[in-house]
């Protein structure tokens, strides 16, 4: 097993499948009266969050607690970071407190990689800048496998702001490792030139959502980050919604079995309409539930044995 | 749990292998345990068999099969994976987690019989008792094993024992079952011949 989880590309097909299989076992714990396993008793997991997050932080916290680990939550607001403490000094502080794993979210791409060189414990990337978010990709893959029964051979469209999306990058890497075919869809301004070839060979790019929809098993909508809306990547929010938003008529062009995913938080009416978000095809709530199981699997596989 | 032959250095001795139970013996022993369960539980009413992976699982299925042949009672069978409850998780590389499958009726208020192949230190059973505690509240818990090789490290004993094998700690007992290994056999490795 690997020591850190920094990128969707860290995982080979066997390891990724092991995580998904373990997550399936962890999911059964959620249905029990006692939602607790003793596997990580006495281990300390630090959630180091330099960016706001609801579901990822809570999900990691719930995952660690269900495995009986001790959880320390750190958010940059209200910490010594506001006094100018560097990431390295913060990391060394955590090290001195005996953190066995550090779950880090940071606005700078690559921060978790740096951190991994400074601490002895395992580092889990919970989103770094516009780079990667590997546990999101794992939970997306888990959700696809749970709904559609397989990953190999699936056709997945990832739609929206690919340029700034760490979710898209991790998903392309992981899904192509697991044998799915990804098509990136969005306005040309939001899809980096050559990204498909650079991330994973076999990935396609399209600027026309309507032509892609009839041929996919999964359509994953990305959030349009509000702060980007005024940056002239597209003429107006309404135009974006008209061309790349998923609404009812577009959803009905999907094959019968296809599912709609969104990593959250959603901008209802922007990239996805309420009709789609609340339809039976939508897996948005399942994704949150599966997130806890997948993160339990990741923490167990990183910390459960003596893998140091 | 099956343990590999103990690694030994000098003086080099011929590793001996002794067959304790051959295929027909294993079947007779399983038959006997099934009869004993029926006798001790007054017909296996309100009883659930839970196999401890890996080889407890097929043993539990066989016992249920024999019980239904002898007395026409269907005893629910399940699987209890104990990986996450082991006390030696940190001493080994991360272990793969297997499925736990409880019978549809659950185990609350039932007489649960845990089934494993070899009873040795008792630590596996300790972990199984902890795991059981988290998945339900049985009325009582019993233990059935194919082989008891002694050397307990915890105050645990079996209610049904297929075969007591006196061993030294240098020896190891290996159980093979047709469902997993192709043949039914119990062998003792490493004894002096």
CB hemisphere CA count around A272 (13 angstroms): 27
> In this complex, is the C-beta atom of A26 within 8 Å of any C-beta atom belonging to chain B?
yes
Share of chain A above pLDDT 70, in %: 99
**Can you give the pLDDT at residue A225?**
82
Residue B66 C-alpha, separation from nearest chain A C-alpha, in angstroms: 30
Closest by CA to B144, choosing from B23, B2, B40, B18, is: B40
Collapse the DSSP code of A101 into the 3-class scheme (helix H, G, I; strand E, B; otherwise coil) and give the result: strand
Q: Which of B81, B91, B99 sits opposite A306 (nearest CB)?
A: B91
Please, are residues A246 and A272 in contact by the beta-carbon 8 Å criterion? yes
The angle at the Cα of B88, spanning B85 to B90, to the nearest 5 degrees, equals 105
CB-CB under 8 Å, B81 with A305: no
**Can you give the pLDDT at residue B191?**
64
**Can you give the pLDDT at residue A44?**
96
Q: How many residues does chain B have?
A: 193
Please, are residues B59 and B26 in contact by the beta-carbon 8 Å criterion? no
Q: Looking at the predicted structure, is the pLDDT value of residue A77 above 70? A: yes
**Can you give the pLDDT at residue B128?**
97
**Can you give the pLDDT at residue A227?**
73
Share of chain A above pLDDT 90, in %: 79
Q: Looking at the predicted structure, is the pLDDT value of residue A226 above 80? A: no
**Can you give the pLDDT at residue A307?**
65
Q: Looking at the predicted structure, is the pLDDT value of residue A65 above 80? A: yes
Find chain A residues with C-beta within 8 A of B95's C-beta.
304-305
How many residue contacts between A and B have a Cβ separation below 8 Å?
54
Q: Looking at the predicted structure, is the pLDDT value of residue A248 above 90? A: yes
Q: Looking at the predicted structure, is the pLDDT value of residue A270 above 80? A: yes
Regarding the domain delimited by A8-131+288-303, which CATH topology (the fold level of the hierarchy) does it fall under? Rossmann fold (3.40.50)
Residue A268 C-alpha, separation from nearest chain B C-alpha, in angstroms: 39
Which residue of B lies nearest to A28 if distances are taken between CA atoms?
A: B100
Other CB atoms within a 10 A radius of the CB of residue B37 amount to 26
- The CATH number of B22-86+95-168 is 3.40.50.2020
Find chain A residues with C-beta within 8 A of B81's C-beta.
25
**Can you give the pLDDT at residue B6?**
53
d(CA A48, CA A87): 10
d(CA B60, CA B49): 6
pLDDT grade for A28, boundaries at 50, 70 and 90: very high
pLDDT grade for A82, boundaries at 50, 70 and 90: confident
Between A76 and B41, the more confident residue is B41
**Can you give the pLDDT at residue B66?**
97
d(CA A228, CA B155): 65
d(CA A253, CA A182): 18
Average the pLDDT over A168-192 and give the result: 96
State pLDDT tens for residues A213-222: 999 999 999 9
Q: To the nearest whole number, what is the mean pLDDT of chain A?
A: 93
pTM score, two decimals? 0.91
d(CA A303, CA A70): 13
Q: Looking at the predicted structure, is the pLDDT value of residue A84 above 90? A: no
Intervals of chain B under pLDDT 50 = 1, 8
Residue B57 C-alpha, separation from nearest chain A C-alpha, in angstroms: 17
Quick one: CATH architecture of A134-284? 3-Layer(aba) Sandwich (3.40)
Domain ranges of chain A: 8-131+288-303, 134-284
**Can you give the pLDDT at residue B5?**
52
Which residue of A lies nearest to B108 if distances are taken between CA atoms?
A: A33
d(CA A160, CA A168): 9
State pLDDT tens for residues A97-149: 889 999 999 999 999 999 999 999 999 999 999 999 999 999 999 999 999 99
**Can you give the pLDDT at residue A201?**
87
Cα torsion A179, A181, A182, A188 to 10°: value is: 140
**Can you give the pLDDT at residue A195?**
87
DSSP letter string, B52-77: PTTTHHHHHHHHHHHHHHHH-----E
Q: Looking at the predicted structure, is the pLDDT value of residue A305 above 80? A: yes
């Amino acid at each position: 097993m690997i020591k850190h989880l920094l990128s969707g590309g860290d995982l080979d097909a066997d390891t990724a499948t092991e995580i998904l299989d373990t997550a399936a076992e962890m999911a059964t714990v959620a249905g029990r009266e006692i939602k607790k396993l003793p596997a990580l008793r006495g281990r300390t997991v630090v959630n180091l969050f330099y960016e706001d997050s609801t579901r990822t932080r809570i999900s990691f916290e719930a995952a660690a607690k269900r495995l009986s680990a001790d959880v320390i939550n750190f958010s940059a607001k209200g910490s010594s970071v506001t006094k100018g403490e560097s990431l390295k000094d913060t990391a060394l502080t955590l090290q001195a407190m005996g953190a066995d794993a550090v779950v880090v979210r940071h606005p700078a791409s690559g921060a978790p990689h740096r951190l991994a060189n400074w601490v002895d414990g395992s580092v889990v990337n919970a989103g770094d800048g516009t780079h990667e978010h590997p546990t999101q990709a794992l939970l997306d893959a888990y959700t696809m496998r749970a709904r559609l029964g397989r990953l190999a051979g699936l056709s997945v469209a990832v739609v929206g702001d690919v340029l700034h999306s760490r979710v898209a990058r991790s998903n392309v890497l992981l899904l192509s490792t697991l044998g799915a075919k990804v098509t990136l869809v969005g306005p040309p301004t939001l899809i980096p030139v050559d990204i498909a070839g650079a991330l994973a060979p076999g990935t396609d790019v399209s600027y026309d959502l309507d032509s892609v929809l009839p041929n996919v098993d999964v359509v994953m909508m990305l959030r349009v980050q509000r702060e980007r809306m005024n940056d002239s990547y597209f003429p107006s929010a309404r135009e974006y919604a008209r061309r790349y938003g998923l609404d009812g008529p577009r959803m009905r062009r999907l094959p019968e079995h296809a599912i709609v995913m969104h990593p959250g938080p959603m901008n209802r009416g922007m990239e996805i309409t309420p009709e789609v978000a609340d339809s039976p095809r939508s897996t948005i709530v399942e994704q949150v539930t599966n997130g806890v199981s997948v993160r339990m699997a990741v923490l167990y596989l990183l910390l459960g044995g003596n893998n140091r | 749990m099956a343990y590999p032959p103990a690694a030994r250095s000098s003086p080099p001795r011929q590793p001996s292998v002794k067959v304790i139970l051959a295929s027909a013996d294993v079947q007779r022993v399983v038959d006997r345990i099934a009869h004993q369960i029926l006798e001790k539980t007054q017909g296996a009413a309100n009883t659930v068999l839970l196999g401890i992976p890996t080889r407890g699982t097929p043993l539990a299925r066989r016992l249920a099969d024999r019980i239904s042949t002898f007395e026409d009672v269907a005893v629910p069978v399940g699987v209890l994976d104990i990986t996450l409850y082991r006390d030696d998780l940190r001493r080994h590389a991360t272990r793969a987690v297997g499925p736990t499958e409880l019978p549809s009726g659950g185990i609350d208020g039932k007489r649960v019989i845990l089934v494993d192949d070899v009873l040795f230190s008792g630590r596996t059973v300790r972990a199984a008792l902890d795991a059981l505690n988290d998945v339900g509240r049985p009325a009582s818990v019993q233990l059935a094993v194919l082989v008891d090789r002694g050397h307990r490290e915890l105050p645990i004993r079996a209610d049904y024992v297929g075969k007591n094998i006196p061993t030294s700690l240098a020896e190891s007992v290996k159980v093979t079952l047709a469902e997993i290994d192709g043949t039914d056999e119990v062998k003792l490795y490493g004894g002096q011949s």
